[in-house]
Amino acid sequence: MNKILTLLVFATACTSAQTIELSDEGKVITNVNVINVQDGSISAGQNVFIDSGRIVGISDKLDIPQGVTSIDGTGKFLLPGLAEMHAHIPSPQWGRSNLNETLFLYLSNGVTTIRGMLGHPVHLELREQALKNEILSPRIFTSSPSVNGNSVRSIEEAREKIAAHKEAGYDFLKMHPGLKLEVFNEIVKTANEVGIKFAGHVSVDVGIRNSLESGYSSVDHIDGFLEGLVPESAGIDPSANGFFGFDFTDLADLSKIDELVALSKEKQVWIVPTQSLFERWFSPLDADSIGSTPEMQYMPKSTVENWVNGKKALINSERYNEERWIKFDQIRKKLLYSLQQSGHGILLGSDAPQVFNVPGFSIHHEIQGMLNAGITPLQAIQAGTINPAKFFNMEGQFGEIKEGASADLILLNSNPLDNMENLRNPAGVMVRGRWLSRTDIDSKLEEIAKNAANQ
């Protein structure tokens, strides 16, 4: 049986009443502070009406009808669900249980949209199942399988494989290193012809300037930028760049940053920093300390052990230089800040699951890395909400709290604009109208931790 609500709609000349019908599965979040991600303003005491997975009304005037599920938002803050724009979705060999757990880990921290960055045919099925609410999952966008120097080695392969990826239905191409320039150019040509975007890494033979000029939809990891700061007069071997340009740190000419940032803006290339990956995996931080943090309990014990051992081997090697890492990190932060302030825009992405980046939990480290670079709390929130909606040309469909948008929401106990740590441990998360209370989240996390301890 439908419940009839009365919503006051204010027109320019008069006030008229409009009715809204809520089904038996309708929900209302009551008396909540709604955060506007466009400008950071807050509308207090709002009732947010949800039905069929969408927001159908927002008002402080409506009475709450009996029989509708009511979620008390008194004193709390409502934020749109976040997007993890450099996510990884397990492949079939991980097993269905691990797959479902990974998807839930994202949701547990308010990540209601993920952009999978290493595609597999099964991810196409997951995307449709998530869209139809057949599985408990964030909204999924998925890349193709890796396009790299080994998977696409010739112009002929470029034509065949790019067309095949488009035909299969992938949302975009995932670019990995190792591509030769002539092969890359054919990939771009074919991608434009068949109508599929491309994003990801920058191949050494291609370089950041060619990559930006070619029309990447996003460059991830700020890849290629540090190499692009090295003057031609240095006469270096481009392939000797090390981990994301680390070995060129001392050669970087910071006066070249403005040129690269301006080119990214001109060509409308978004940047996904994944700063947390560099601050946790590649930093001098103690591996055992990171490996013993509470969120690691949700990853298989063997995986965490491998992460710890891998980091120890890295920072204890003869090639590792802590002083150089500090300078490397400072350059990355300067690039990140400049790309936010003067470039086309930043997208929230941490690269999870990856070394010490637990799905969902890693966004908090990513946001802190962005704040450390000088980005404001509102800009960080926009990187995970309205900016991804713009990226996918889906403004108004998600990434904002507005009538008609998908009911992807995070209910928070305190205002994240006051302190971004308030994003942690949400009071509840809604994904396309499905409500996950704090109790629901904690219960599932406990189950995941028990499973992980035995793996």
Per-residue 3-state assignment (H helix, E strand, C coil) for the chain: CCEEEEEEEECCCCEEEEEEEECCCCEEEEEEEEECCCCCCEEEEEEEEEECCEEEEEECCCCCCCCCEEEECCCCEEEECEEEEEECCCCHHHCHHHHHHHHHHHHHCCEEEEEECCCCHHHHHHHHHHHCCCCCCCEEEEEEEEECCCCCCCHHHHHHHHHHHHHHCCCEEEECCCCCHHHHHHHHHHHHHHCCEEEECCCCCCHHHHHHHHCCCEEECCCCHHHHCCCHHHCCCHHHCCHHHHHHHHHCCHHHHHHHHHHHHHCCCEEECCHHHHHHCCCCCCHHHHHCCHHHHHCCHHHHHHHHHHHHHHHCCCCCCHHHHHHHHHHHHHHHHHHHHHCCCECCCCCECECCECCCCHHHHHHHHHHHCCCCHHHHHHHHCHHHHHHCCCECCECCCCCCCECCEEEECCCCCCCHHHHCCCCEEEECCEEEEHHHHHHHHHHHHHHHHCC
- Above pLDDT 90, what percent of the chain? 89
Smallest CA-to-CA distance from 249 within 305, 333, 181, 172 is with 333
At 105, list the tokens.
Answer: 């880990």
Give me the helices (H) in 87-151, please: 96-108, 121-131
pLDDT value of position 95 = 60
> What phi and psi, each to the nearest 5 degrees, are found at residue 398?
-160, 170
- Domain definitions of the chain by residue range: 3-80+402-437, 82-391
Of the two residues 269 and 320, the one the predictor is more confident about is 269
Q: Does residue 377 have a cis bond before it (omega within 30 degrees)? A: no
Query: Average model confidence (pLDDT) for the chain?
Result: 93
Q: Any idea which fold 3-80+402-437 has?
A: Urease, subunit C; domain 1 (2.30.40)
364 vs 293: CA distance, rounded Å: 13
pLDDT, tens only, 215-273: 999 999 999 999 999 999 998 999 999 989 999 999 999 999 999 999 999 999 999 99
Q: Name which of 35-39, 241-245, 332-336, 415-419 the model is least confident about.
A: 241-245
| pLDDT above 90 for 97 | no
pLDDT at 106 over 80: yes
Region 98-120: mean pLDDT is 96
For residue 436 the two structure tokens come to 């996950």
User: Does residue 302 register a pLDDT over 50?
Assistant: yes
pLDDT confidence of 5, banded at 50, 70, 90?
Answer: very low
244: left (phi over 0), alpha (psi -120 to 50) or beta: left
Question: How far apart are the C-alpha atoms of 63 and 162, rounded to whole Å?
Answer: 54
Say if residue 368's pLDDT is above 80: yes
Question: Is the pLDDT assigned to residue 12 strictly greater than 50?
Answer: no
- Average pLDDT of the segment spanning 54-79: 90
What mean pLDDT do residues 348-363 have? Answer: 96
Structure tokens that stand for 210 in this block: 């060619």
Report the relative pairing of strands 3-10 and 77-80 from DSSP bridges: unpaired
Which one has a higher pLDDT value, 320 or 439?
439
Pairwise CA distance, residues 250 & 236, whole Å: 12
pLDDT digits (tens, 9 = 90+) for 410-446: 999 999 999 999 999 999 999 999 999 999 999 999 9
Q: Per-residue pLDDT averaged across 302-320, rounded?
A: 93
Cβ atoms 126, 116 nearer than 8 A: no
Instruction: Check residue 96 and give its pLDDT.
Output: 66
DSSP string, 185-219: HHHHHHHHHHT-EEEE---TTTHHHHHHHHT-SEE
Say what the pLDDT of residue 68 is.
85
The per-residue pLDDT for 24 is 80
State whether the Cα torsion 50-56-62-67 is positive or negative: negative
Helix pair 362-372, 377-384: axis angle to 10 deg:
140
Range scoring the smallest mean pLDDT among 138-142, 161-165, 239-243, 397-401:
239-243
Please tell me the CATH superfamily of domain 82-391, with its number. Answer: Metal-dependent hydrolases (3.20.20.140)
> What's 414-455 look like in SS3?
CCCCCCHHHHCCCCEEEECCEEEEHHHHHHHHHHHHHHHHCC
Predicted confidence at residue 93, as pLDDT, reads: 66
> ∠ CA(112), CA(118), CA(122), 5° rounding?
75
pLDDT band at 20 (very low <50, low <70, confident <90, very high): low
Instruction: Return the pLDDT at 2.
Output: 41
Residue 18 has pLDDT above 80, yes or no: no
Sequence-distant (6+) residues with CB within 8 A of 128 are: none
Q: Report the percentage of the chain scoring pLDDT > 70.
A: 95
